[in-house]
């Protein structure tokens, strides 16, 4: 099954970009250049984009159109980036807020 986004409700038609690698909490993750970061994570089975600061429960993308902020992650050192609207670039570093370090 292809879990890549072909058409995004806000970003429009998505062409399959070249294969690149992003780093999520230091781990390499295959992605397609230009696709939303949250979609790239979903495609490889990563459903948690942050942890609740109150309960510690995992949270994941909900709306995928930039409204709910459930997808907010730290991207290249910038906190609270809505990853459902942020295009993948080769080598970008993504961190999961609230994640307990091993
Ligand atoms: S999933 Fe709702 S703002 Fe990104």
For atom 3 of ligand 1, the residue with the nearest CA is: 66
User: Which atom of ligand 1 lies at the shortest distance from residue 85's CA?
Assistant: 4
Q: List strand residue ranges (DSSP E) for the chain, in order.
A: 7-8, 12-13, 19-24, 27-32, 50-51, 58-59, 72-75, 78-82, 93-95
Q: pLDDT band at residue 57, thresholds of 50, 70 and 90?
A: very high
User: Which atom of ligand 1 lies at the shortest distance from residue 67's CA?
Assistant: 3
Q: What is the pLDDT of residues 64-101, one digit of tens each?
A: 999 999 999 999 999 999 999 999 999 999 999 998 87
Q: What integer is the mean pLDDT of 59-64?
A: 95
Q: What integer is the mean pLDDT of 47-59?
A: 95
| pLDDT for 1 | 64
Tokens of 44: 């490889």
| 63 Cβ inside 6 Å of ligand 1 | yes
Q: What is the pLDDT of residues 1-51, one digit of tens each?
A: 667 778 888 888 888 789 999 999 999 999 999 999 999 999 999 999 999
């Amino acid at each position: 099954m292809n879990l890549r986004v072909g058409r995004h409700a806000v970003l429009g038609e998505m062409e399959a970009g070249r294969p690149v690698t992003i780093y999520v909490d230091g781990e390499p993750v295959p992605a397609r250049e230009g696709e939303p970061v949250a979609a790239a994570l979903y495609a490889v089975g990563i459903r948690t984009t942050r942890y609740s600061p109150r309960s510690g429960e995992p949270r994941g993308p909900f709306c995928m159109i930039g409204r709910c902020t459930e997808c907010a992650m730290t991207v290249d050192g910038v906190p609270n980036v809505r990853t459902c609207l942020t295009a993948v670039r080769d080598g970008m570093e993504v961190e999961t807020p609230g994640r307990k370090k091993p």
